[in-house]
Amino acid sequence: GLTFSLSWKPRKDVGENEMKFEELYKLLIKDSSLINSEDLEKLSNHFRSKIEHERLVFEEQETEINYNELVKNVMDFRNWFEFKIYSKEAADPKPKELTNSRFNTFSGGERALSLYIPLFAAVAAQYKKAGEQAPMIIALDEAFAGVDESNISEMFGLLEKLGFGY
């Protein structure tokens, strides 16, 4: 009766010279031969602004600035999104955000499920982007320790439904 869902949305905290995600995405997927000087200027301003913001964060934390780390953080697309996991029990009218306090009310098996289900869904989505030629293989090492037998069979069923070999 416990279900999980994942929300993966672009962050809304856009700085003065930063583009909204949709605009940035359109430029990043554009054929490079079609990018004009105005587009290049927008991209440059966007990433300069992101790097400056990251530099200020380093300074506020009084951390030595490592420019390789700084640029790596700015370019890591995972930092461009906000991820949230929601859980819903059969009796609940709507899903609730999976916070630490809610997570701590789960049994060991429910905790494992709340971690693995969104992870498997995210991995499957990434594989699908790679196209038909990508082998859908996932390696598991005691992945379902602490999960009861019925949920273990559901987890393997989920892996098969998502198209994974394991």
Task: For 54-91, write each residue's pLDDT tens digit.
Answer: 888 889 988 888 889 889 989 987 788 888 889 898 88
Q: How many other CB atoms are found less than 10 A from the CB of residue 100? A: 6
Query: Tell me, what's the pLDDT at 42?
Result: 93
Task: For 94-146, write each residue's pLDDT tens digit.
Answer: 999 999 999 999 888 788 888 888 888 888 888 888 888 888 888 888 878 77
Cα separation of 120 and 118, whole Å?
5
Which of 72, 17, 21 is CA-nearest to residue 41?
A: 17
At 147 the three-state DSSP class reads: coil
Average pLDDT of span 43-56: 91
Contacts of 154 by beta carbon, 8 Å cutoff, 6+ apart = none
Cα separation of 40 and 127, whole Å?
30
**The model's pTM:** 0.62
Contacts of 6 by beta carbon, 8 Å cutoff, 6+ apart = 83, 84, 85, 86, 118, 121, 122
Instruction: Note whether 46 and 17 are within 8 A (CB).
Output: yes
**Backbone dihedral angles phi then psi of residue 2, each to the nearest 5 degrees:** -100, 125
Cα separation of 129 and 92, whole Å?
34
